[in-house]
Structure 1
Amino acid sequence: MRATDDETTDRPDDGAAPRTRSRRSARGARMSPRARRTITTVLVVLGCLVVVLVGLGVWVARDVLAVRDDLTVAADLVPELEQQVEDGAQDEAAATLEALQQRAASARESSTGVHWSVVSVLPVARPNLQAVQVVTEVVDSLAVDALPAFADAARLAGPGGFAQTDGRVDLGPLVEVAPRVVAADAAVQAGLDDMVALDPDELVGPLGDAVTELTDVMAEVGSTTATASRAVRLAPPMLGSEGPRRYLLLVQNNAEPRATGGLPGSVILLSAEDGRVTIEDQRPASEFQSDTTVLDVGEAERALFGEDLARKMADVNFTPDFPRTAELAVALWAQKDDRAVDGVLSIDPVVLAGIMGATGPIDPPVGPRLTSDNVVDYLINGVYLDIADPDQHDVFFQVVAAQLFQEVLAGAGEISKIIPALAQSAREGRVLLWSAHPEEQELLAPTVLGGELVGSVAAGQDGERRPVVGIFLNDGTAGKMGYYLDRSVTTTVLECLADGSQRLRVDVSLTSTAPVDPGVLPQYVTGVGGIVTPGDVRTNLLVYAPDGGRIEDVTAGGNPVGVQSQLHEELFVAGITTLLSPGASQTFSYTIVTSPSQGGDVILRFTPGPRDTRTQLRGASCATS
């Protein structure tokens, strides 16, 4: 058969059948000039694109370096600004804020543009460039919105700001700035969430390190703005901007330990209206006693504290849960007085010393001139040695507290100096506050002022929590020997367990510094009722495990110790009664296992004494982040 025009026949030399192939294929095997020109054009275009991408990449890389430099400086400026605001250095703070805003704006400008959009389509570049943009937007929002509002609010506490005129604080500026501060805090918390959502492990090394560092800075700022937000929402109504308020002020005496500090020997009724706070009444705690419990007492409370917890004002803080203390105090007050109260405030002599550092000394009707250096020792020890009549001790205490508060309420001392002193005392658990108004108490509860009995606190934005170990003392001497009781606590991380929990050892040491000759002390100090030998110190020691945790064993000198075990507010607690002779010391060791969700560093909460409690943390953290 004859081949068609589109076919050719190949006849092999060996006589085999001829092979036929397409002429089109043969023509296609030879590339036409047009096709070659097309492919060449494509290759040139691709080459140009590569060159462009490389060029854009270099451009972006240069911008990234500029962003890094700006953000590094900005990260250093943030704590500097916070310190200046806290110190009341307004001019320096304004200059630092301006520099921070310039750096933040420069970083944001350097992280935008068409070249960023083009290069960010590359899989390797995308997460890193997006991270840079998230960080710059967060820092820019921080500099433009959050920190200026925070500085404005803090300025109200500085000289000429949150100050008194004729014994009254002008609440107007605080009310005016409140919405900005609340909005700024919301922006900071949202920005912090965005930062936490970035995974440093997916980013190039230097960028991942920078994100981690800036996240830590944002967390610190977030803590500050959250505090400011609470303050501007709480202060005006609690100071009477929306109507008159009344508060019970419990003045605790650390010489006779109670879980939250000391026996509340004096009760002062404060009234607040439109920024003016006055002393309406003051009475000794001994006036407030009841033959029956004023509120129901649970089984654990009865076993740990006795029914006097709800019968005597002097014993309402046997419990370490201050909201419970406050409710009991209000109920006892209501048994004797029909004036309704809106909250309870508690302080101790160390707080008074801090205030006196700003207001100056006072001269009580009897006794020495009291200064910030001697007021603690005299109020909880010296007065008992100088004044023989026990009935006059509480009177003296009331007079000093009232005189000091009158000084403060009259405007003595700068508020800018008093507030830091109160803040430090609050961090030490010496200033506690409870509100009878639920919306206010909800804001107070998670703060150091709240004094709520908790077994853990949030460690960050990733759900991990830090375990809280509670170590509380209640006097068993019926005297004022707590003045001679030194305390120290050492916490050691023994093991990070596979389930995320950790095994701890908590060593609690108590030492008596009482005089060897107890005869030099009056009976009112050594204890009434013959409960202990004069000079000995009897103390009920309560140690609370973190929530979901347990106390595996308790030893003293390596020997097992019997304890009273209870479940109080869903926390495991071990109680021991200790007895120390003058100069004696005893250490109790607790092996504690936390719950699996608590890998963070341990937080200690303990009864504040007349002197600082020595604390030490040993061992590597079990935190996962």
Structure 2
Amino acid sequence: MDQEIPEISRDRVKSAPEPDIPNLMTSKPTARQLMPNLPNFPIPRKPLLLGLAFFLLLFVLLGLALGLPLYKTYQDGLKTYTLAKEIKAAAAAQDLPRMEKNIQATKNQLAQLNTDLQGLTWATPLPILGVYISDAQHFGRAGMAGLEAAEVMTKSLQPYADLLGFKGQGSFTGGTAEERIAKLVETLDKLTPQIDTVADKMEIVKNEIDFVDPQRYPETFQGKALRSQIVEFKSIVSLAGSLLKDARPLVKKAPDLLGAKNEVKYLILFQNDKELRPTGGFITAYAVFKVNKGKISLESSDDIYKLDDTVTKHVTPPDPISKYLNIYGWRLRDANFSPDYASSSKTFLDIYANSPKRTDVQGVIAVDTQTLVRMMDILGPINIYGTNFTTQKVPQCDCPMIVYELLKQAGQPRSYWTDDRKDMIGILLQAIMKKALDAPSQMNAALFQAALKLASEKHLIVYLLDPDAQKGVEVLGFAGQIKTYDGDYLHVNDANLGGAKANLYIQETVKDTVEITTAGANHSLTIEYRYPHGADNCSLERKEGLCLAGIYRDYLRLYLPLGTKITQTRGFENTSTTSEDLGHTVVAGFFTVVPEGLAKIQVTYTVPGDFKKNGEYRQLIQKQPGTEGNKYTVIVNDQEQTFNLTEDKELVVKL
């Protein structure tokens, strides 16, 4: 059955409602449109802002927590530094009371600085900044220990202030100088515990400083060297600690060495540095001094030839002495042939033991003309034998009058000698010591400093028979020893075997050109000897005049690091020799220089080793005793340094 389909009018279709379908072609649907049943979560905008504000506040608080204490620490550091400079100024003025006052003030200020630094301990784990705060804490603790050491030392020296030439009220101001020294000797044993305390404090300083790595710091800061200053400071602290530790036995032995309980004796050798020998000069005279409770007196003195005449047994000398002096028995006057003073002193004592004039001594002390001249420069003229000896220059040698008189005595033929001045050196030394003891206390500082300088420059050198005391002398640098060294090394040693006093005029210069390679240090060494003076009459038959400027006959030895490879030597009259001595490779040879002449010795050699370690080249150059500052020029990889070698020098060159 057919069914009729109703007709739908156009108007009816148009009026139908339009469905709510998004226009996908014109906009992106939202999450809510795509998933109408999605739960309604709120957007966390306010907590985000709160979080940012919290972190900002935390950063500000951290800045305040660090910034304010750091600023206060900086200010306290400046105050501490200013006070520390006052200690240095007081020390320079040799004012013990002022030093003690400034040390206490600096300690108080440093204590505040250390409190500031302790309050920053929480910040040490922070990157970069933390390690510098830690270093500052170590420096602070080291500074306090150092100040405590200085305080102990200052108080310990107070009783001896007048004797040492310091400002301050000493305990030994009454009586004669000898009586004051006797009192000092009696109390020296009380100083030993104080030295122990100072040494212990310096050990604390060293331990704290060891934590600081200089490599963490820049080379310079605000235009001033920084890293090198830290390295140097650590080196000084280490050296001071070793010095105090090793010198303690000498301090403990000091009362015995000064005759506190029993009388002791010392052999004094006069070395004529105008006739240079390995330890400072030809031995022309000797003296024996007695020390009893600090009081010094002369027992005997004489010309060295007179003492040599009493020796009953001789051993064979080293080959150069036999060959160039035509002497086949080792004499006292030639005993100082080893450049190491202790070794030469032992040789002297071995020969001296065969003389009936031998006496037991505690040590052997050598002095040269510079010792006499510098002491007399302070004390003034010395009157002995009815003659007023001075340090004014005389035209005969263009040298001090006292030196000329000594040269005149040593330079005349033996037939000229008389016995009235045979003990001149002993009498002169005793007169100098007496005048020093009787001098006003204001002179004590100058005399004390002069003695230290003479010892550091090796014009006064000491050998003590007591091993512990000798070790202390070596640590102080007063022993004239040949050292071994962890690095490059050079010691130029001349022995004048000509008899003339040519070293009064010889001008010696040294130039060392060094090229650092991976294989080691290549050296080109040139030593030049200029002799600008005309010749004197040196005939043994002469009736008058001095033989000062004669032919210079020099036996030269170069002490180099053990294992050095010698490439070439030039300038020696005969073939040079290479050997080993005192832990060194030694190049030796003989040459001459005539008056108004010139000689050059050239040696090329290689020292094996890694000299680029730590980015720097190190060399120890040791001075020969008796020399007066020969000019040295050292060129390392085109970096040049020129200096006068007045004492041992450690050369450091950045590579």
TM class, shorter-length: 0.7 to 0.9
SS of aligned partner of 1:403: helix
CA contact 1:537–1:579 (8 Å) conserved in 2? yes
- Which of the numbers 71, 77, 80 marks the counterpart of 1:62? 71
Change (3 A) 1:218 1:107: farther
Distance 1:560 1:357, change over 3 A: closer
Is contact 1:162-1:415 (8 Å) kept? no
Q: Which residue of 2 aligns with 1:133?
A: 137
Aligned counterpart for 1:552 among listed residues 562, 567, 591: 567
* Matched AA of 1:157: L
Equivalent in the alignment of 2:584: 571
CA gap of 1:554–1:212, structure 2 versus 1, over 3 A, is same
Q: Which has the larger radius of gyration?
A: 2
Tell me if structure 2 keeps the 8 A contact 1:379–1:397: no
Closer/same/farther in 2, CA of residues 261 and 519 from structure 1, 3 Å limit: closer
User: Counterparts of 2:593 and 2:141 in 1: how far apart (Å)?
Assistant: 60
1:547-586 CA distances to partner (integer Å, 9 max, x unpaired)?
Answer: 4444433334xx9983122211231112222212211121
Is 1:183 the counterpart of 2:197 in the alignment?
Answer: yes
Are residue 124 (structure 1) and residue 128 (structure 2) matched?
Answer: yes
The 8 Å contact of residues 300 and 566 in structure 1, kept in 2 or not, is answered as no
Describe the shift of the 1:352–1:517 C-alpha distance in structure 2 as closer, same or farther (beyond 3 A): closer
Aligned residue type for 1:335? N
> Using the alignment, how far apart are the partners of 1:222 and 1:82 within structure 2?
21
Q: How does 1:296-335 map to 2 (within 5 A)?
A: 311-335=330-354
Give, in whole Å, the separation in 2 of the partners of 1:210 and 1:61.
20
Alignment partner of 2:483 out of 443, 454, 463: 454
Q: Percent identity?
A: 14
CA displacement 1:379-430 (0-9 Å, x = unmatched): 4434457897245575433432343334345667743222211111112211
Map 1:248-263 onto structure 2 (within 5 A). Answer: 248-263=267-282
Q: What's the counterpart of residue 521 of structure 2?
A: 502
The 1:427–1:308 alpha-carbon spacing in structure 2 relative to 1, beyond 3 Å, is farther
Which of 538, 541, 544 in structure 1 is aligned with 2:556? 541
Per-residue deviation, 1:60 = 3.9
State which drifts further: 510-519 or 50-59: 510-519
Give 1:103 shift.
4.5
Q: Name the residue aligned to 1:275.
A: 294
- Structural mapping, 1:465-614, within 5 Å: 465=486, 467-477=488-498, 479-498=499-518, 501-516=520-535, 518=537, 535-556=550-571, 562-594=575-607, 596=609, 599-609=617-627, 611-614=628-631
Query: How far apart, in 1, do the equivalents of 2:386 and 2:179 lie?
Result: 29
- What pairs with 1:7-26 in structure 2 (closer than 5 Å)? none
Q: What is the Cα deviation at residue 322 of structure 1?
A: 0.6
Query: Which of 442, 445, 449 is the aligned partner of 1:416?
Result: 445
Amino acid at match of 2:428: V
Instruction: Please state whether the residue corresponding to 2:389 is helix, strand or coil.
Output: coil
SS at 2:623's partner residue? strand
**Using the alignment, how far apart are the partners of 1:303 and 1:565 within structure 2?**
19
Question: For the Cα contact (< 8 Å) 2:312–2:354, is it kept in 1?
Answer: no
| Alignment partners' CA distance in 1, 2:533 and 2:541 | 13
Letter in 1 for 2:626: P
TM-superposed deviation, 1:43: 7.4
- Partners of 1:419 and 1:40 lie apart in 2 by 76
Aligned pairs (5 A) from 1:103-118: 103-113=109-119, 116-118=120-122
Residue among 427, 431, 435 paired with 1:399: 427
Corresponding residue to 1:83 among 79, 87, 92: 92
CA distance, structure 1, for counterparts of residue 327 and residue 299 of structure 2 = 27
What is the count of residue pairs matched by the alignment?
575
Distance 1:81 1:31, change over 3 A: farther
Query: What amino acid is the match of 2:567?
Result: E
1:481–1:437 CA distance, 2 compared to 1 (3 A)? same
1:389 aligns with 2:409: no
Report if aligned partners of 2:206, 2:237 keep a CA contact under 8 Å in 1: no
Q: Give the drift of 1:324.
A: 0.9
Structure 1 pair 307/333, CA: closer, same or farther in 2 (3 Å)? farther
For residue 471 of structure 2, what is the aligned residue in structure 1? Answer: 442
Checking the alignment, whether the CA contact within 8 Å between 1:469 and 1:604 is kept in structure 2 is: yes
The whole-number CA distance in structure 2 between the counterparts of 1:525 and 1:227 is: 51
Preserved contact between residue 547 and residue 595 of structure 1 (Cα < 8 Å)? no
Change (3 A) 1:266 1:565: same
CA contact (8 A) 2:510 2:632 kept: yes
2:147 counterpart of 1:143:
yes
Q: How far is the alpha carbon of 1:545 from its aligned partner?
A: 1.0
Q: Flag the 1:203–1:607 CA change in 2: closer, same or farther, 3 A.
A: closer
C-alpha distance in structure 2 between counterparts of 1:389 and 1:109, whole Å = 78
Q: Is the 8 A contact 2:205 2:237 kept in 1?
A: no
Could you tell me how far apart the structure 1 residues matched to 2:323 and 2:64 are? 74
Over 6 Å off, 4+ runs: 36-45, 299-310, 385-388, 519-522, 524-528
The one-character-per-residue Cα deviations of 1:255-290 (angstroms, maximum 9, x if unpaired) are 332111112222211222322222222233221464
Partner of 1:495, secondary structure, is strand
Distance 1:215 1:79 in 2: 20
Q: Distance in 2 between the 1:315 and 1:31 partners? A: 107
Q: Which 10-residue stretch deviates more, 199-208 or 62-71?
A: 199-208
Where do residues 339-358 of structure 1 align in structure 2 (5 Å cutoff)?
339-358=359-378
Give the Cα–Cα distance (whole angstroms) in 2 for the partners of residues 238 and 251 of structure 1: 21
Aligned residue identity for 2:337: F
Q: Residues of 2 paired with 1:422 and 1:162: CA distance?
A: 21
AA aligned opposite 2:449: P
Letter in 2 for 1:452: Q
Q: What SS does structure 1 have at the residue aligned with 2:275?
A: strand
Residue deviations 1:402-461 (CA, integer Å, cap 9, x gap): 4333434566774322221111111221111111111112222233211112242xxxxx
CA distance in 1, matches of 2:211, 2:610: 20
User: Would the aligned equivalents of 1:505 and 1:590 in 2 still touch at CA under 8 Å?
Assistant: yes
Over 3 Å counting, the alpha-carbon distance change for 1:603 and 1:335 in structure 2 is same
Distance 1:235 1:360, change over 3 A: farther
Which amino acid in structure 1 is aligned with residue 229 of structure 2?
E
Amino acid at match of 1:492: D
Q: What SS class does the counterpart of residue 447 from structure 2 fall into?
A: helix
User: What is the root-mean-square deviation of aligned Cα atoms in Å?
Assistant: 4.2
